[in-house]
Amino acid sequence: MMRPLCVAAAAAGLSACAQPAPAPMTEADILARGDYLVNSVVLCGDCHTPMLEEGGHDESRKLHGAPVMVPPPLADYAPTLAGGPANYSEEQFLHFLQTGERPDGTQPRPPMPPYRLNEDDARAVAAYIRSLPPPQE
């Protein structure tokens, strides 16, 4: 059965029904999206979380930075991300997540992939990463 708006749209010769605008995302929604992206899609923790001797990731130090076991000239250390990457403003971090370009215009060395996230995903990733407690020094 067609909804009344769809019937009216069809009668007027329109091809699409009016859809209600989605509700704005709450902060909890944004953090949940960022958690999903960081931990299930872009997999930041694979390099930026220290490993345990048994071989798993040390979840108590999530995104606290870690050595990367790859041969030179590839990157040898994945820096701390928890709390937000050092020396990046919010806008610089969002730009990096959307373009793969650092604030100084350079690209990171492999194994860091050149992410090209859309703006909403970049904002969710940045919000989640900034929500994580940074290492205690």
For a pLDDT cut of 70, what percent of the chain falls above it? 86
Q: 30 by DSSP, 3-state: which?
A: helix
Q: Alpha-carbon distance 117 to 135, whole Å?
A: 26
> Is the confidence at residue 14, as pLDDT, over 90?
no
Average pLDDT of the chain is 87
Please list, in sequence order, all residues whose beta carbon lies within 8 angstroms of the beta carbon of residue 13, skipping any fewer than 6 positions away.
Answer: none
> Which amino acid, residue 42?
V
* Tokens standing for residue 29: 């929604």
Confidence of residue 1 (pLDDT cuts 50, 70, 90): very low
Which domains are present in the chain?
23-131 (1.10.760)
pLDDT score for 115: 87
> How far is residue 75 CA from its own chain's centroid?
20
Q: Alpha-carbon distance 77 to 48, whole Å?
A: 8
Q: In the predicted model, what is the mean pLDDT of residues 10-14?
A: 53
Q: Give tens-digit pLDDT for 79-127.
A: 999 999 999 999 999 999 999 999 999 998 888 988 899 999 999 999 9
Q: Which long-range contacts (CB under 8 A, 24 or more apart) does 93-101 make?
A: 93/126, 94/119, 94/122, 94/123, 94/126, 97/121, 97/122, 97/125, 97/126, 98/122
Tell me the residue ranges of DSSP E strands in 28-104. 66-67, 77-78
